[in-house]
Structure 1
Amino acid sequence: MFVLHMLLLLGLYALGLNALEVKVCDCEQASQKGILQFSDENCQPEKKEKRTNAVNYSVYTEKREELKFPGYICARWKQIKHITTSFFGQKVVVPDKIALETSPFECLTMYESRRCNEQPMTINDNKFFYDQEPVEDGWWLETVTVETINCAVEKIQLYQETEGESFSTPLGIAQATAGSISHNHLTLIWDKTFAVKSEPKARLVESGVAIIITTGTSNKFRMHDEEKELEFHIQITNKRCLPPLTTCDVKADAFDVIGQPKLYIFTTPIIPKNSSLEEGSRKRPVLKEDASIDVVANFQYLRDQLLDNENDLTREIENLHFQQGVTSQDEFNIQVLREENADLREKIKVLEERDKKNIEDLNELREENVTLRQQMKIQSECEKQRRRMI
């Protein structure tokens, strides 16, 4: 019996060991998987160079310029006095004022005639008015009511930003084709011919010199005008006719202004003067042997290229120090850049010597020219003396 119990305990112990058995993953060569792939925190991100181009630009719009035209505000009111005379002759005056409606025709008549109910109005700058108090002595023990009608007209400036649509006025939003608007016993009139729609016509809004900068997004750029402190976000669109033409056979490239759909821009590249090599080229300089090449421009170009190479060398060294170590390939790249810089310095030195030699030759020619002029002057004097002797 004891042996049976021992065997049973050993069997249960063996089953318990099997139940605790687990598989452990090998994480020695673990790799990250997922949507986001993070780079090494010590790795410097690649810097994308933004290309820039200098251009002359002109900003146009087919939107009509803000229209300014005159308007006339008219008002009329009735001035009333209630005069009561007591038994002892004391007068009690109670004034009152009632606003009157004014039709557009009455408003126009008041402005053109400068009269208020046949009474001449006083003119003061852009205002015409007639403002009089009714006069009456009253009667004993009676209440007399006297009244007079007063008028006022004021000339104001109206503005319409978009033709054919409503616009703001001192009396509220008005329809351009209505010709008048009334509110609170005031009437505003204007000439409706100013609101007639016109054919779309290109109008110059702004112009100047700017640089176009790439943004990394296809067909989208930034245009920055440093002098006028202007910046436009632009994109390439279909071709347009050059102003002032609205229809044409030959169209030019244009840019649309992002966020301002009624503006578009024409640009022309600025070609640097005395530029002997193609603008924007990053190739190593090649010394021209042709005598017709502008020596000064070529010399300046070599200096600029040398400065660019030195900047590249400095940037390369900074990048190498940023990393943990310098490889043999990196050392080779640095050595190549140094040799190219040394070669450039030799070419600049040769160019300076050639320029110096050209100046010396020019001075010799000037001296020979002076000597030749002196000889010609002597021969001329001799010829004059010979003629006198004859």
Structure 2
Amino acid sequence: MTPIENEADLAGMIAGAREPLAIRGGGTRGIDPAGNLLAISGLTGVDLYEPGALTLVAAAGTPVADLDRLLATENQRLAFEPMDHRRLLGTTGEPTIGGVVAGNISGPRRIQAGACRDFLLGVRYVDGTGTVIKNGGRVMKNVTGYDLVKLMAGSWGTLGVLTQVSLKVLPRAQTQATLEVSGTGLTGAIRAMSAALGSPYEVSGAAYDPSEDTVFIRIEGFADSVAYRLGRLNALLNSHGTVTTTEDAQTSATQWNRIRDVEPFAGTPGDVWRLSVKPSDAPGICDRLDADGLLLDWGGGLIWARVPSGTDLRGRAGGFGGHATLVRSDAETRATLGMFQPEPAPLAAISAGLRARFDPRGIFNPGLMGRT
């Protein structure tokens, strides 16, 4: 299908649809819901950029790389550092800002800055009847009724098709550094990350790679501040293991891109799952997973697990206060296990009610989030 290039054509196509639609942005996620392909990668361009107001408005199909380049000219950035799935999933295409918002894709800096939805100021989208709806604005404010901005973030195209997003951006840090603590073990890693995150030293990344038995702690900011905090964290964490530091900003950035994009699992066999958990529960959950590979982020609150193809990881994990998402698998496994954690009945009823309100004909990405 030729990508749609304007909102009016998109609205007309949705209004006239008689069969389910599979919504696609840049095509980097490897997700193929049932239905006729509806590609929005043709909706591109920056509609407004006000560096002084830290505000960016862009069409949903705009590549994230284009926005990164534009923001760099004003020494600014997307603070939630969205993951690039292409190496992990072996996909092509270009990540789009609409796809990032639809999945609420947020990287290691989430523990300090917040998630994608926390920087979303406004949205334009087309609902299941073909109606164009705008919600939010260019500044943070309180609203009554549905918070449509927050609802659209993480809805994976099941409530509406995004056409435009408004985002708050932040200044780029002058420099960054990474402190590494090795020899901790999994339980010790959680303790070390908790100590760093509980300190006053403004940690912007806390991850653990069991394959290297190494904790990674990132700090960012002005050079003098980073140097001071690096020294203080070194003193704080030297009782947890062997401490080394990476003070070169580019080397540190490369390390965190590797963590953000789950590069240790790229090109490896098996399914990849993403578990959101309470950090203190992570050691016990990891033991039950019996995974072939693990990578922890967000201070232990995010577990990436690689297991043999077809493994029911939710069954292995048992009951826990969180959720498990199937990120990489074949189509058969995704059809059997579902991409998203099944919701408790009361929450599932609320979700179904929202989908019925936003997409009354049930044509958007059917089956992706609890609806067949």
Q: TM-score, normalised by structure 1?
A: 0.16
Q: Which has the higher strand share?
A: 1
Q: TM-score, normalised by structure 2?
A: 0.17
